[in-house]
Structure 1
Amino acid sequence: MSFKNKLLHLNFVHISKRCYTFSIILTIIGVISLAVFGLNYSVDFKAGSNVDISFTKNVTSAQIEPILENIGILEGSKITPGVDRMSIRFDEVLNEDQDHQLKGEILKLDSGASMEINTVDPEMAKELAANAIWAVLLSSLGIIVYVGIRFEWRFAIAAIVALLHDAFMVVTIFSIFRLEVDLTFIIAVLTIIGYSINDTIVIFDRIRENLRFAKQKTRQDLIDLVNKSVSQTVMRSLYTALTVFIAALFLLLLGGASIRMFSLAMVIGLLFGAYSSIFIASPLWFVLKSKQKNKPAKAS
């Protein structure tokens, strides 16, 4: 039997039990990692300066470090080299004199170099962080309302759990591996939320269509309905995920340093988005629906 045929005949509801275990374990690891290490915030979310330098010749980190040490700004700095480019992040806001000295020393190394300095003060950093959190929360709330109106509350709960699962998995990976979180990361999370809910709604729509004509006398009838609905849409979900994944992967491999974290978050989020739509959202709806069917009828 081919891989496609095996996939179409999977018992998705049964497999979901293992998927729940995997996701719960990863969630616990993520909570511990966030509690102990937190996130590696970029200058976008904490006070500091970020210097982007474009060179016309090859300049290495080893040549830059003595310059920073002489100016007195090496401590608390992070150098990220690239092709003809270099990014230097400082935990402290550089003053005007330090900016001037750094620019002068860079021009001594490469007279054709250009330098751009972005500074975020503490108040602006707090405002950006708060706005990012509100953006994620409000978008999630809007999706709950939309799915609740279009379908029913069980679909809405299953969708939001899958959606938050995908976003948190990305946050977990970034926390564990100490990857930098900047504004592009927030954009990626919001994009992942949109992708995840779109993929989930396609499966939910098929479940709703099949509900119109399916018998629902037993728990097994409901299991068969969910498995049938997922199998009818699983290839579409995988093809869509693969298409977007390839684009995001090449963006990660060939894109510049400025969008690297965005691309990486997209790659991770797309994988978890496809996984949760198939193995988390629909089986969770089944759990909620089966509990309703198991409730005893009220006496009239």
Structure 2
Amino acid sequence: MSTEQKNAQKPRSVWSKLYRGENDFQFIPKRRRWYLFSAVLIAACIAVMLVKGFVMGIDFAGGNQYNVPDTGQATLTEVEAAAAGAGVEIASGQMAGSGEDQSFIIRTAVTDLDTSQEARQAMADEVGVGSDQISVSEVSATWGAAVSQQALIALVVFLILITAFIWLRFERRMAVAALGALGHDLLLTAGIFSLIGFEVTPSTMVGMLTILAYSLYDTVVVFDKVQENTSNLLQSRRQTFAEGVNDAVNMTLMRSLNTSLIGALPVGALLFIGVGMLGVGTLKDLALVLFVGIITGTYSSVFLAAPWVVDMAERSPVYKKHNQKVANKRAGKGDDDETARPKTADRSDEVELEVLDPEPATAGAASRSGGGGGGGPRPGARPSGSGSRQRRKKRR
């Protein structure tokens, strides 16, 4: 036996089947479980947002931002304590830059001029520099409101364009399922953001739009394979619509996992190593949104979007009838519309042949009996071709 034959007979592992798209995970048949799991997560996220709320950054809430040089004499916690001792409310604090350019970014609520100067002097004394070396910038809450309005307009336009594209490229059911998956991703990401307590900044808004595009990309990949698998489904009795969608999800599963890993690894490095270990929190809000959005986008496209398409399609009378025909075929019952009628037509054809064309059987009997006796033609029957030829010979 050759090596290729041995490899063909050797059972493949789960990872090998996953890589080749030959696995048969039951995503669609077990979709009720995913619905329940997602409902629990969404309910928990909504509860967190209602109870805990969000930490709005200075760009949205307004306030003062102090850029304090890091001289190595004080930590971030000590600088924040010095500012709080001057009577200001600390909104957030983080480290930015590296080496000689490293500094502390302290954000506070809106304060009057005297309190702001006292906080500035207190932080300067803590790090050992002059107060003139600490820059202060004020941000009005109206600027944050304008940013929020522009972000909301961009989100609405984005959703309208994407819905129209999916509706025209695929079908209405897939457009509705894609929008539902996007809403799921937004709620889940917002809930985790509220739970962790990171500031909501313009970078957060940019990250939200980015994960929407990523989630849609993964969903469109799955839908494209679904459309390919189910394009000629109604012309056969091989599988139901749900089974065709389940095969499509399994075929694209490895692609979805690879895309998620490639996107999540650098973002995870920025979030866990840059923010968690090195303490560089300049982009922690953007990193968190992207990391959570990549994971939820893959989850929603596989476990929610495709099953929702199945649920909407199976409400259609066309697919209900198709599924019933598939079930009848597997049960050996056949299909009343396609099996009973041909059998009746065949029997009528046989009867017609016996009545209108009895000559071949008569001629055959005559030849077997030697052309005489009881094997002759019946009274009133049309003479056969052989009898006509014999009479013509006698006349000659």
TM-score range (shorter-chain normalised) is 0.7 to 0.9
Matched, 1:287 2:311: yes
Matched, 1:188 2:201: no
Partners of 2:260 and 2:294 within 8 A in 1: yes
Residue 283 of structure 2: SS of its match in structure 1?
A: helix
Moved more, 64-73 or 246-255: 64-73
Mark the structure with the bigger radius of gyration: 2
Matched, 1:80 2:93: yes
Matched, 1:68 2:83: yes
Structure 2 counterpart of 1:56, one-letter code: T
Structure 2 counterpart of 1:80, one-letter code: G
State the partner residue of 2:375: none
State the partner residue of 1:22: 37
Q: Distance in 2 between matches of 1:80 and 1:154?
A: 46
Higher relative contact order (CA 8 A, sep 6+): 1
> TM-score, structure 2 length as denominator?
0.67
CA positional deviation for 1:178 = 2.6
Q: How big is each residue's C-alpha offset from its partner over 1:144-176, in whole Å with a ceiling of 9 and x where there is no partner?
A: 111112111111001111111111110011123
Moved more, 169-178 or 46-55: 46-55
Structure 1 counterpart of 2:60, one-letter code: F
Structure 2 counterpart of 1:238, one-letter code: L
| Residues 63, 39 of structure 1: alpha-carbon distance in 2 compared, 3 angstrom cutoff | closer
Matched, 1:278 2:302: yes
Moved more, 140-149 or 52-61: 52-61
| Residues 218, 39 of structure 1: alpha-carbon distance in 2 compared, 3 angstrom cutoff | farther
CA positional deviation for 1:115 = 3.7
State the partner residue of 1:236: 255
Give aligned pairs, total: 294
Matched, 1:147 2:166: yes
Q: Distance in 1 between matches of 2:142 and 2:184?
A: 31
Partners of 1:43 and 1:120 within 8 A in 2: yes
Structure 2 counterpart of 1:286, one-letter code: V
| Residues 117, 136 of structure 1: alpha-carbon distance in 2 compared, 3 angstrom cutoff | farther
Gaps of 5+ in 1: none
Q: Distance in 2 between matches of 1:43 and 1:219?
A: 60
Moved more, 36-45 or 216-225: 216-225
Q: Distance in 2 between matches of 1:87 and 1:11?
A: 50
Residue 314 of structure 2: SS of its match in structure 1?
A: helix
CA positional deviation for 1:61 = 4.1
CA positional deviation for 1:139 = 1.6
> TM-score, structure 1 length as denominator?
0.87
Residue 255 of structure 2: SS of its match in structure 1?
A: helix
CA positional deviation for 1:16 = 2.4
Moved more, 146-155 or 28-37: 28-37
CA positional deviation for 1:24 = 1.0
Matched, 1:2 2:14: yes
2:107 to 89, 101, 106: 89
CA positional deviation for 1:243 = 0.3
CA positional deviation for 1:12 = 1.1
Moved more, 57-66 or 228-237: 57-66
CA positional deviation for 1:99 = 4.5
Q: How big is each residue's C-alpha offset from its partner over 1:5-64, in whole Å with a ceiling of 9 and x where there is no partner?
A: 378210110232211111111112222222333222111211222323331324224532
State the partner residue of 2:283: 259
Q: RMSD of aligned C-alpha atoms? A: 2.7
State the partner residue of 2:195: 176
